[in-house]
Homo-oligomer: A and B are copies of this chain.
C-alpha cells in the first residue's frame, strides 16, 4: 500500500472509531486510548494525525459541513432556480435537502442533539444563514439587523424541527414533514397550530 493511501486509511479509521464511540458517549468520556483500540492503531499513531479527541470531532464536522455547503449553496439554489418564476417548495425542488438528510441524518441528529457540539450548531447555522441571505434580492440587507434576526429565527427553527422529527422518521413520512415545514415557513406558526 502506498504511503498516501495508508495515511488516508488510518485517518479514516480513527474518524470512524471516534464516531462509533460518539454515538453513545459524550466527547469528554472518549479517550484517545479507546479510539485507538477501536481503530486498531497505536496510541502514538493517533497523535501523528490529531492533537486530541476534540480535533477528530472537528475534522468530522468540517467534512460534514463541506458536504452541507455543497448541498445548500450549489445543488439547492440550482434546484430552486429551476422552479422559477415562483419559488415552489415541493418535494422535487427540495430533493437536495431530503437527499442530504437521508445520507447524513444521523450526523446531524447527534451533533445537534443533547450530547452534541454547540460549535457545530454555530457553524451549521452560519451556513444555513448564508444561504438564506443569498436569497435576498438586495445585498445591502445582509447587514441589516432585522435580516439577521429573521435568518437566525429560520435557521434555529429548521434545525430544531429536524431534531424533533428525525427520530420518528419511520412513522412520520418525509413528505409530510416537508409539507409541515413549508406551511410553517410560508404561513407562520399560528395558522399551523390551529390546523393541527
Check B193 against A136 for contact (C-beta < 8 Å). yes
Write out, one digit per residue, whether chain A residues 111-136 have a CB within 8 A of any chain B CB (1) or not (0). 01111111101100100000010011
B residues less than 8 Å from A154 (CB atoms) = 157, 189
CA distance A54 to B118 in the complex (A): 16
The range of chain A's interface size is 35 or more
CA distance A28 to B117 in the complex (A): 12
CA distance A192 to B121 in the complex (A): 24
> Within the complex, which residue of B118, B149, B191 is in contact with A177, where a contact is CB–CB below 8 Å?
B149
> Within the complex, which residue of B152, B159, B187 is in contact with A163, where a contact is CB–CB below 8 Å?
B152
> Within the complex, which residue of B118, B145, B161, B186 is in contact with A168, where a contact is CB–CB below 8 Å?
B145
Further 8 A-B residue pairs, CB within 8 A, beyond A136-B193, A150-B189: A125-B160, A138-B196, A144-B196, A150-B192, A153-B157, A153-B158, A157-B160, A186-B190
Return 5 A-B CB contacts under 8 Å, by A number.
A116-B118, A150-B196, A157-B160, A186-B189, A186-B191
Residues of A within 8 A of B (CB): 27-28, 54, 87, 112-119, 121-122, 125, 132, 135-136, 138, 141, 144-150, 152-161, 163-165, 168, 171-172, 177, 180-181, 184-193, 196
- 6 smallest beta-carbon distances between A and B, as pairs: A156-B160, A157-B157, A152-B164, A188-B188, A153-B161, A156-B156
